[in-house]
Amino acid sequence: MVITELLERNARLHGSEIALVEINPSEERDQAVTWRDFSLIETANPNAPYRRELSWKDFDRRANRFANLLLSRGVERGTKVGILLMNCLEWLPTYFGILKAGCVAVPLNFRYSTDEIKYCLELADVEALVFGPEFVGRMDPIADKLPQIRLMFFVGRDKPSYTEDCCKLMSFCSSSAPPVHLVDEDYAAIYFSSGTTGFPKAILHNHQALYCSCLTEQKHHGQTKEDVFLCIPPLYHTGAKMHWFGSLISCSKAVLLRGVKPEWILRAVTEEKCTIVWLLVPWAQDLLDAIDSGRINLDNYYLDQWRLMHIGAQPVPPSLIHRWMKLFPHHKYDTNYGLSESLGPGCVHLGVEHIGKVGAIGKPGYLWEARIVDEHGEDVEQGTVGELIVHGPGVMLCYYKNPQATDEVLKDRWLYTGDMARMDEDGFIYLVDRKKDVVISGGENIYPVQIEDFLRRNDKIKDVAVIGLPDHRLGEIAAAIIEIKEGMSCTQEEIDNFCKELPRYKRPRKVIFDKVPRNPTGKIEKPVLREKYCHGRLVESQITS
């Protein structure tokens, strides 16, 4: 089955029921309107956030209209169509419209600079682009420098002169399904790697991978029609979208929250009766800190129906989960591991029944296999650190137009993740670090994640990243970039004393108090830190936050 059939099934069987809700707490109502005939759902509170909703039938009709628009403009099967939108009700119907037209969806990171947008559009051979008002300033300088793009559709008001009004054009298109037959092997989407080693690579997936992600997600989290999923991370990322696939396959409502403030998250859970929330580490940390400081009173929210909190996209500090379970003891907790190359989360999965294994990323997920191997591709002994490799239906077809990079990570149908891991006696896998992030100091391998997890136990530390700095004697030393909680102060001496529990070789040789940069999916941007501190002057190591 191809994934578009799930949308059509939901529209046919439960068309009048709500599929998607968008909540934008920070935007005025009249600025947010894009598609003209969306219903505005008013609330009794005049200060309530702007809210829109979309039924399954209208979701499917929107997708059909956009597919027919593409076909009417001569777009052929296999054409690459880019999406550059913030999370909104337009995002998923646009995505599915591209698929229904037999085209390849190419979601773009909404934080990309002008140069990165141009690079990715050219790399993926994008011929049509849909973008919104937030990106006009970045598109203006390159609009006439993209000769391969022959169609530019704009979603919003104040249309740039070089674009066409997507909403107006769609209103003239049929809402019936286009006459395009899809099969599992058809190309479906190109996603981009995080770009942690430079400009992103383009990752090609087929329809089979998308559908299998639906099966894996529902198997892991048991979504039913009664569930309501709160989606906060960006939809261009495989993690957010593939978790939403659980809502698609179960025909349940999802809420797109445009904002990450703790108050907004809890209000959305309360008002929309959300049962499943996927958080990134920084957001969970902020929420816990707001509760601990008294800024948030949980008695002001209704959260009894919230059954599952899960985290992914980066290593999860066990200390954070222990704090969470003390405040929310009725919650099930889960974590999923995945990569864009494995079509998002789920190739390794902890499972809600394994709360005693917090700290592990879990075992191979539903439909997946996993191994830990040495540099020769041979399985290592239990407990030994090696590279995690995975195999399953969501493994990418290739890095688009990059056979050399493809051959480096795809070997005998196994995907080499670049993550160092170990397996315990019960078969649970623990991430140790990124292969590229390992610090080799005086011949010893130092795994930054282990030091980061230890330092996060300190009550004054909000976030931390450990990187290697060049050293003429040891080759590298471990440096800890530490972000202190608001209103607190800390010194290097305090950190040095706190780290005395660590083996001497694991203790950070340098402490730097600074903000820890993270990308939209919560991953620490270590290349940014290396660029800042490996090539520039180190800041003073004693700072009051």
Handedness of CA 518, 280, 196, 456 (dihedral sign): positive
Q: Which bin fits 94, alpha (ψ -120 to 50), beta or left (φ > 0)?
A: alpha
pLDDT at 198: 56
Q: What is the DSSP track for 218-262?
A: HHHH---TT-EEEE-S-TTSHHHHHHHHHHHHHT-EEEEE----H
Handedness of CA 288, 292, 296, 297 (dihedral sign): positive
Neighbours of 138 (CB within 10 A): 18
Pair 390, 419: CB distance under 8 Å? no
Pairing of strands 151-154, 187-192: unpaired
Q: What is the DSSP track for 12-25?
A: HHHTTSEEEEEEET
Cα–Cα dist 96/365, whole Å:
26
- Secondary structure percentages of the chain, helix, strand, coil, to 5: 35, 30, 40
Q: Where are the domains of the chain?
A: 54-206, 438-544
pLDDT along the chain (545 residues), means of 10: 96 97 72 36 46 96 98 96 96 98 96 89 97 95 95 94 95 96 97 69 95 94 96 88 94 95 94 93 87 92 94 75 91 90 88 88 94 94 93 95 94 91 93 72 71 87 87 76 89 89 83 85 76 58 30
pLDDT at 129: 98
Cα–Cα dist 21/291, whole Å:
26
Residue type at 250 in one-letter notation: S
CB contact set of 13 (below 8 Å; sequence gap of 6+): 251
pLDDT at 3: 95
HSE toward the beta carbon, residue 477, CA cutoff 13 A:
15
pTM for this prediction: 0.82
pLDDT at 49: 54
| Residue (of 131, 82, 106, 77) closest to 400 by Cα position | 106
Q: Please determine whether the domains at 54-206 and 438-544 fall in the same fold group of CATH.
A: no
**What residues form DSSP beta bridges with 80?**
104, 126
pLDDT at 451: 87
Domain 438-544 bears CATH identifier 3.40.50.1970: no
Neighbours of 532 (CB within 10 A): 17
CB contact set of 170 (below 8 Å; sequence gap of 6+): 35, 62, 65, 66, 69
CATH architecture of 54-206: 3-Layer(aba) Sandwich (3.40)
pLDDT at 45: 43
What are 51's two structure tokens? 């809210």
Cα–Cα dist 96/128, whole Å:
15
- Angle, vertex CA 424, rays to CA 420 and CA 430, nearest 5: 35
